[in-house]
Amino acid sequence: MQDVSTTKSPATIIADLVGALDSVLSCPREVIELAVCTFTAGGHLLLEDVPGVGKTTLARALARAMGGESRRIQFTPDLLPSDLTGVSIYSQSSGRFDFHPGPLFTNIVIADEVNRANPKAQSAMLEAMGERQITVDGNTYELPDPYFVVATQNPIELEGTYPLPEAQLDRFMACTSFGYPSAGTEAAMLTGEHVMRPLEGLQEVCSLDDMRALRESVASVSLSPQIADYIVALVDATRDRDGVRYGVSPRGSLHLAIMARARALAAGRAFVVPDDVQSLAVPVLAHRLVLDNAGYGTLSMEGARRVIREIVGSVPAPRAGRRA
């Protein structure tokens, strides 16, 4: 791995990451910005869309541009939890059980088509995503730092998919979808120089030390009491709304606050403003809602996003976001 450690500001590092990814990917720039923001905030990202729109390519591009090690896991119905976490195997030479780490032991995990696996295999990722550790046979093993899961899933309506349980969805800091590219973007993709190898020209733009420092910088961004009250008001509005069975959990409030700090950092600000919260409310909160009689899948997700947009439009925002 090449040494790309820098002394650049956090905002410059984020801008370089977004620019590098945008130069080789055909997905919307706002999706790239959300992905980088999620990593900066220390969370995990869920990409939901139909097959073939570039979800896995974005995940691979993130891994390459950010440095560190990455592993791709293709989720299938026969996947076992031990296929993810690793297993303890008895060694005759040493007379003991030796632990062999699974693919979750890496900096960036690309969990491809995560809802193709059965719920038992899906749940094997809960501890890794929430605690940055894995417990096997009573022994706990720390995961690498930084640790980032980029999961892709197909719409639930497609054959052979298993809906992620609410506890699993709540572990993802943000969830978004691509949508189909515009006609011009799709035509440019077909005639591009690296149409068969879209990531060929993508280089590492930051080191692991840069990424650790970037994540630590998020905590230095000020979030005023007024902004905190605004976040709580938005989340509380999801808990007492017609058509919503279960609103957003306190983890959702925390994730929205952290993401807002990361967005402010990307903008070169030392404080959060209401626009940071408003622009991130849908990708951070919508996937945590459980609607009445909506079932699972694309219709449910679109309904949840509509609810969050309506709440953002109805809850008054504070006039200032600076530190009190």
**Residues 269, 184 share a domain:** no
pLDDT in tens, 137-187: 889 999 999 999 999 887 655 555 677 888 888 999 999 987 666 676 666
The token pair that represents 180 in the structure block: 């189909």
Specify burial of residue 158 (Cβ count, 10 A radius: 0-12, 13-18, 19+). middle
Nearest to 259 by CA among 1, 15, 33: 33
CATH of the domain at 113: 3.40.50.300
Same domain, 253 and 137: no
Q: How many CA atoms lie within 13 A of 84 on its CB side?
A: 29
pLDDT at 67: 78
Our measurement of the distance from residue 227's CA atom to the centroid of its chain's CA atoms, rounded to an integer in Å, reads 23
Domain boundary among 218, 250, 277: 218
| End residue of a domain, out of 184, 218, 252 | 218
Asked whether residue 3 carries a pLDDT value surpassing 60, the answer given is no
The per-residue pLDDT for 156 is 58
Based on the domain organization, do 4 and 111 belong to the same domain? yes
Q: What does pLDDT average to over the chain?
A: 85
Residues 211 and 284 in one domain: no
Query: Which pLDDT band holds residue 12 (cuts at 50, 70, 90)?
Result: very high
Task: Judge if 241 and 145 occupy the same domain.
Answer: no
Residue 99 counted as domain residue:
no
Residue 236 lies in a domain: yes
Instruction: Say whether both 62 and 207 belong to one domain.
Output: yes
36 and 54 fall within a common domain:
yes
CATH number at residue 258: 1.10.8.80
Domain count of the fold of the chain: 2
Quick check: is 89 in a domain? no
258 and 150 fall within a common domain: no
Contact 61, 21 (CB under 8 A): yes
**Residue at a domain's end among 218, 233, 251:** 218
DSSP string, 3-41: -------HHHHHHHHHHHHHHH--S-HHHHHHHHHHHHT
The DSSP letter of residue 136 is E
Asked whether residue 41 carries a pLDDT value surpassing 90, the answer given is yes
Report the C-alpha gap between 226 and 258 in whole angstroms: 15
Name the least confident of 36-45, 148-157, 215-224: 148-157
Statement to judge: residues 114 and 151 lie in one domain: yes
The answer to whether residue 84 is domain-embedded is no
Separation of alpha carbons 27 and 177, rounded Å: 10
Q: Which residues pair with 134 in a beta bridge?
A: 141
End-to-end CA distance of the chain: 44
In a shared domain, residues 226 and 196: no
Residue 10's pLDDT is: 93
What is the per-residue pLDDT for 324? Answer: 40
Is the pLDDT at 241 greater than 60, yes or no?
A: yes
Looking at the fold, whether 199 and 297 belong to one and the same domain comes out as no
Q: How far apart are CA 116 and CA 109, in angstroms?
A: 16
- Kindly state whether residue 98 falls inside one of the protein's structural domains: no
User: Can you list the alpha helix ranges (DSSP code H) found in the chain?
Assistant: 10-24, 29-40, 55-66, 81-85, 119-123, 126-131, 166-169, 183-191, 208-218, 225-239, 250-266, 274-285, 298-314
Residue 266 has pLDDT above 80, yes or no: yes
258 assigned to some structural domain? yes
CB count within 10 Å of CB 269 equals 17
CA distance 318 to 324: 12
Task: Phi first, then psi: give them for residue 237, nearest 5 degrees.
Answer: -65, -20
Mean pLDDT computed over 188-203: 65
Q: Maximum CA pair distance of the chain?
A: 69
Which domain covers residue 70, as residue numbers? 1-79+105-218
Task: Flag whether 88 is in a domain.
Answer: no
Identify whether 46 is part of a domain: yes
**12 and 116 fall within a common domain:** yes
